[in-house]
Structure 1
Amino acid sequence: MPESRHTKELPVSLLTDSEMIDACRVRDFARVFRLVKARAGIYPSMIARQCELTPSRVGEVIAGQRQLLHMDVIERIADGLRIPGHMLGLSRRGWETPAALAVSEREPVHPPAGPGPLAALPGVEVDSILAMAAGTNPSPSTLQALRSSIEDYWRRDDEHGGETLRPAVVGQLRYVEGLLKDRRPTPIQHGLYGVAAELARLTGWTYFDARQYHQARAYFSEALQLAREIDDHPFMANVLACMSLQATYQDKPADALALVSAAQDQARAGTTPRVRAMLAMREAFAHATLGDRKDTHTAISEAHSQFERIHEGDPDPAWVTYFDEPKLIVDTGIAHGRLGEAAIAEPLIADALAREDPANQRGRAFHAFWLARTQLQRGKLDQACHTAIEALVPAAAVSSERVTGHLREFYEQLAPYREVPAAVAFEARLRATLPPPVQRTPSSIRT
C-alpha cells in the first residue's frame, strides 16, 4: 500500500513483546488490535484508516465476531501498522528497508570539467565579485585569517558533514586563486599556494564524504598541483593519503596501496613522526583491504613505533594534529576488523570510542558502527544492536553518505537475524531516527 505520511508506527517495546509476537504468529488479530490500542494508542478508527478496513469490520474482529484470513487483508494490516512481515508469516515488506539506506553512490551525470584550478567553481556573478576582491593586497594577517577559517571548516565538517560547507569553501578557494594571479613577495605567494592547496583538499574531502568520487579526485589532483608549486612534499603526502583512503572505499585496494606508497615517498624527508604514523596506518588499511595479514600487522607495528617517537614541540603541520592516541587506537582496531580479527578489534575500538571527542559526530558514528560490526562478528547480537542504536544519534546529526554506507553495511549484516527482538528494535529505531534522503535531480547537483 502507498506509504501514508500520517501512519503511526508501533513502539519497539510492543513489537518485541512476547504476547504481541505470539498473537502475530497465530494471526490472532483480535489480540493484535487490542494490544495496538492499549500499548500504542491507535484506536479502532485509526486502525481501520491505516489498514484500509471499515471501522465496523475492525470492531467485529476485536469482538471476536470475524476472522481475517485473506492474504491481501493481512498484508494491508502489516503495511498499515508497520508490523514486520516475518511476524505475520509474510515475506519482507518493501518499507522495512529504511529509505535512508536506499542511497547508491552519487556521481555526477556528466564528469566534472578537467582538473584545472577553475573547474567546478561558481558562475559569472561570483567571478566578478571575486575579481574585485582580488585587487586587495594580502598580508601575513590575511594568511592567518584564511588558515583560521580552514580550521573552522574542518571542525564544522566533523560536527555536521561537509556538504553544506562546500559552497563557502569553494568560494574561498576561488578568491585565493584570484590572489595568485598577481606576483607577491615570496612568503606571501607561498602562503597563498598553501592555503589554496588546503582548500582544494577540503573540497575534495567533502565530495569524498558525499561519495561523489570523480569530483573528489579532481579536487585532490588540484591540491597536489598547488602543493607542487611550492614543493610542499609533506602536504602532497597528505593528499595522496586521502586518495588512498578513498580507494579503499571504492574497493580498489591495489590503488590504495600504490597511492599510500607514493605518499610515503613524498614524506621521506622533512616530516614528523606523527605524519609517518598516520601514513603507516593508511598503509595498514590498504593491506587489510587486500587481505594481507602479515603486511597489515607490520604496518600497524610501524604506525605505533612512529607514534611513540612523537615529542612535545614537534613541528607537526596543522592538518595532522587530528591523529592523536584515540585515533591511532581506533584505526588499529579498524585495520584488525578489516582482516576479520574481531576479537582484537572490539576492545580497541571500544576504548577509543570512550575517549573520542563528543563534538566529532561523524567520527563517533563511524567508529560506533565499526564496534557494532565487530560485536556482531563475535556473536554478540544484542550488544551489537544496542551499540548501533546509540550510533544512530551522531549518524542523524551529520550529513555524510559515508556514514550511511557504514550503516548500510551493518544493516545488511543483520539480515540473518531479522526476527530477533534486538534486530527488530534496531530497525524500528532506525526508521524513526533517519529521515528519507533528499531526492536530487541532475540539475540540482553542483558540478
Structure 2
Amino acid sequence: MAATIRRTRPPNTDLARLIEASGASHKSLALRVNQLARASGIETDYSHTSVANWARRGMTPKWPIPKLLAQAIAERLGRPVRLEEIGMGEAEAPDANVGLDFPRDPTDAIRTATSFWSSVNRRDFLAGSGFAASAFTVPVTRWLVSPADDTADHAGGRRVGRADLDELREAADDARRWDSRYGGGNWKAGSVTTCLRERATPLLRGSFSDDVGRDLFSVTAELSRLAGWTAFDVGEHEVAQRHFIQALRLARAGADVQLGCYVLTTMAMQSLLRGFTNEAVDMAQGAFERAKHNAVPKVLAFAKLIEARAHARGGDPRSASRALAGSEDLLARANERSGDEPVWIDFYDHARLSADATEVFRDLKDPRAVLAWNRQAAAMPPGVFTRSVGMRLAIVGTAHLQARDLDRGLELGNRSVDILARVESIRALDYVREFNDALAPWRREPAVREFVHRTRRELGVAA
C-alpha cells in the first residue's frame, strides 16, 4: 500500500461529510482511487480502511492521491471538487523543479542533489510531467563555461574515508554489469537510486578533504548518471533528465571534466532519442570541444559517436559519416594507449562502434552500409551486452526490410524477440516497434501477422 503521511490532527469532517453526500462506500471509493492511480502509472492498493483513516483519523495520503480522491468524489457528485472541500487543501504536488537546478555554489549543489534523491519515488514522483530539452539549457551552459569547481573540501558530519569511496565504486560497477545484461528495469540495476539516497547522501553531508571530496563527487556523479540511465531505459525520461543534470553538477564539483563530458554526451543521447536532434548535436559537440584537452581518446570517441547518431536522426548523411569517422579514429588512438581509461567507458570498443553504426545507417536508410557494419559488430558477446545485441538484431532486421528481404528480416526480428524477452527495457522495445513499422508493406502476410502477434504477446509491443 502506498505510504501515508501521519499527522496529529482531528478527524477530517469535511471529507467525511462529502463522502456521505456522494453516497459512495469507503470500499467503492478506495477501488476508484486505485483505478485512477493505475491510469496515472501509479500502483496503489488502498482499501476501505485507508478511506476510513483519511476521514476519521485525519490522515493525508501522499500526492497525487488527494487529487485523485477529489476526482473520485467529484464523479459521484457530478461536479468539480476542490482539495479544500475534502480537507486536504494543504496537500501539494512535489516541486516541479526538483532536480532541475544546477547551482553555482558546491554546497548548494550537495543540497540540491540530496533533496532530489530523497524525493524520487517512481510510483508517484512527477506524475504527468515529461522530458523537456529546454531544461538542459542552463546546466549545459554552466558546465561549458566552467566544468570544474575550485575546491571540494567540506565540513559536516562524519569523516569520509577511502573505504567509503570503495563501497560506492563497487555499487556503481555492480549496477553497470546488471544494466548491461538485464536492462534498467531489473531490480538490482534500479537499486542505484536507493544507494544514492541511503549511502551517498550521508557521505556528501560529511567532512572530507579536497582530495577525498573530488573522488567522492566523481563517484556520486557516476552513480547519478547510472540512476538516470536506468530510468531512461525503462521510459521514465523526466526522472532520468534530473539524474543527468545532478550527475553533471557533481562531476563539476569533482573537477572530473572527462566524466562531465561523458554525462553531457549521455544527455545528448537522451535528447536525440526524444526527437531533439539539433539540441543533441549541440550537446555532443560541446562535450567534445570542452573536454578535448582533458579527456582520454575513448571518452571523446563516444561523444563523436553520439554526434553521428544525432546527425543521422536529423537526416544529414555527410555530417553523420564525418562524426563516425572521427569516433573511429579516436578509438584507434585509444587502443594505442589502452590502460588509462576510466572503468565507466570500458564498454566502448570497435564492436560497439560498429553496432551503433548500424543504427546510424538504418536511420539514413542505407541497408548496404548497415550490413557491412554489422559484420564488424558481431563480436559483441550476448551474455555480457544482452540488450545491445537484441537491439542490433532488430536494427539489422529493419535494414533487410529496407532492402525488401522479408524472410531474412523476420528471421532476425524473431531472434531479437528471443533475446529482448529476457530484458526489462522500454528503450529496447522501441527498436522492435520500429521493426514492426517497417513491416507495413507486408501486413497481410501470415508470417508477418504472426510476428506482430508474438511481439504483442511476449513484449507488450502494440501493433
TM-score (normalised: structure 1):
0.67
Residues 326 and 356, structure 1, Cα contact 8 Å, conserved in 2 = no
Residues 161 and 206, structure 1, Cα contact 8 Å, conserved in 2 = yes
Task: Work out the CA distance in 2 between the residues paired with 1:408 and 1:284.
Answer: 22
Task: Work out the CA distance in 2 between the residues paired with 1:433 and 1:354.
Answer: 27
Task: Work out the CA distance in 1 between the residues paired with 2:41 and 2:271.
Answer: 16
Structure 1 residue 319 corresponds to structure 2 residue 344: yes
Gaps in structure 1 of 5+ consecutive residues: 1-103, 125-133, 438-447
Question: Which residue, 319, 322, 325 being the options, matches 1:295?
Answer: 319
How much does 1:222 deviate?
0.4
Q: Which residue of 2 aligns with 1:65?
A: none
Residues 112 and 215, structure 1, Cα contact 8 Å, conserved in 2 = no
Q: 1:389 to 1:241 in 2, by over 3 A?
A: same
CA RMSD of aligned residues (A): 2.7
Residues 345 and 374, structure 1, Cα contact 8 Å, conserved in 2 = yes
Alignment of 1:383-398 (within 5 A): 383-398=408-423
Q: Which residue of 1 aligns with 2:258?
A: 234
Structure 1 residue 279 corresponds to structure 2 residue 303: yes
Task: Work out the CA distance in 1 between the residues paired with 2:395 and 2:435.
Answer: 8
Task: Work out the CA distance in 2 between the residues paired with 1:169 and 1:431.
Answer: 30
Q: Which residue of 2 aligns with 1:342?
A: 367
Q: 1:332 to 1:114 in 2, by over 3 A?
A: closer
Structure 1 residue 170 corresponds to structure 2 residue 179: no
Residues 105 and 212, structure 1, Cα contact 8 Å, conserved in 2 = no
**What is the SS of the residue equivalent to 1:298?**
helix
Residues 106 and 211, structure 1, Cα contact 8 Å, conserved in 2 = no
Q: Which residue of 2 aligns with 1:270?
A: 294
**What is the SS of the residue equivalent to 1:291?**
coil
Matched letter for residue 382 of structure 1: D
Structure 1 residue 113 corresponds to structure 2 residue 138: no
How much does 1:328 deviate?
1.3
Task: Work out the CA distance in 2 between the residues paired with 1:385 and 1:368.
Answer: 10
Task: Work out the CA distance in 2 between the residues paired with 1:234 and 1:418.
Answer: 47
Residues 203 and 219, structure 1, Cα contact 8 Å, conserved in 2 = yes
Residues 358 and 364, structure 1, Cα contact 8 Å, conserved in 2 = no
Task: Work out the CA distance in 1 between the residues paired with 2:309 and 2:97.
Answer: 29
Matched letter for residue 432 of structure 2: L
Task: Work out the CA distance in 1 between the residues paired with 2:456 and 2:273.
Answer: 25
Q: Which residue of 2 aligns with 1:413?
A: 438
Q: 1:114 to 1:419 in 2, by over 3 A?
A: same
How much does 1:166 deviate?
5.8
Alignment of 1:173-192 (within 5 A): 173-174=196-197, 175-192=199-216
Q: Which has the larger radius of gyration?
A: 1
How much does 1:422 deviate?
3.0
Residues 227 and 240, structure 2, Cα contact 8 Å, conserved in 1 = yes
Residues 381 and 422, structure 1, Cα contact 8 Å, conserved in 2 = no
- Deviation digits for residues 411-443 of structure 1 (CA, Å, limit 9, x no counterpart): 122122122233134234334433589xxxxxx
How much does 1:121 deviate?
3.1
How much does 1:354 deviate?
4.9
How much does 1:142 deviate?
2.7
Q: 1:231 to 1:148 in 2, by over 3 A?
A: same
Task: Work out the CA distance in 1 between the residues paired with 2:212 and 2:168.
Answer: 12
**What is the SS of the residue equivalent to 1:356?**
coil
Task: Work out the CA distance in 2 between the residues paired with 1:333 and 1:105.
Answer: 36
Moved more, 283-292 or 347-356: 347-356
Task: Work out the CA distance in 1 between the residues paired with 2:371 and 2:115.
Answer: 43
Matched letter for residue 362 of structure 1: R
**What is the SS of the residue equivalent to 1:316?**
coil
Residues 349 and 370, structure 1, Cα contact 8 Å, conserved in 2 = no
Structure 1 residue 158 corresponds to structure 2 residue 180: yes
Task: Work out the CA distance in 1 between the residues paired with 2:223 and 2:341.
Answer: 19
How much does 1:240 deviate?
0.7
Task: Work out the CA distance in 1 between the residues paired with 2:248 and 2:380.
Answer: 33
Matched letter for residue 371 of structure 1: V
Residues 173 and 200, structure 1, Cα contact 8 Å, conserved in 2 = yes
Residues 372 and 383, structure 1, Cα contact 8 Å, conserved in 2 = yes
Structure 1 residue 217 corresponds to structure 2 residue 241: yes
- Deviation digits for residues 228-275 of structure 1 (CA, Å, limit 9, x no counterpart): 112211111101100111111111111101111121123111221211
- Deviation digits for residues 125-147 of structure 1 (CA, Å, limit 9, x no counterpart): xxxxxxxxx96544323322321
How much does 1:405 deviate?
1.2
Q: Which residue of 2 aligns with 1:358?
A: 383
Task: Work out the CA distance in 2 between the residues paired with 1:162 and 1:135.
Answer: 33
**What is the SS of the residue equivalent to 2:113?**
coil
Q: Which residue of 2 aligns with 1:257?
A: 281
- Deviation digits for residues 186-242 of structure 1 (CA, Å, limit 9, x no counterpart): 222222111110111111111211222221111111011111112211111101100
Residues 220 and 247, structure 2, Cα contact 8 Å, conserved in 1 = yes
Q: Which residue of 1 aligns with 2:424?
A: 399
Query: Bigger relative contact order, structure 1 or 2, given CA contacts below 8 A and separation 6+?
Result: 1
**What is the SS of the residue equivalent to 1:358?**
coil
Alignment of 1:11-50 (within 5 A): none
Alignment of 1:35-114 (within 5 A): 111=96, 113-114=98-99
**What is the SS of the residue equivalent to 1:170?**
helix
Q: 1:341 to 1:425 in 2, by over 3 A?
A: same
Question: Which residue, 139, 144, 168 being the options, matches 1:146?
Answer: 168
Task: Work out the CA distance in 2 between the residues paired with 1:360 and 1:332.
Answer: 16
Task: Work out the CA distance in 2 between the residues paired with 1:236 and 1:359.
Answer: 26
Task: Work out the CA distance in 2 between the residues paired with 1:291 and 1:123.
Answer: 39
Task: Work out the CA distance in 1 between the residues paired with 2:303 and 2:99.
Answer: 28
Gaps in structure 2 of 5+ consecutive residues: 1-38, 43-62, 65-92, 101-111, 121-155
Matched letter for residue 361 of structure 2: H
Q: Which residue of 2 aligns with 1:374?
A: 399
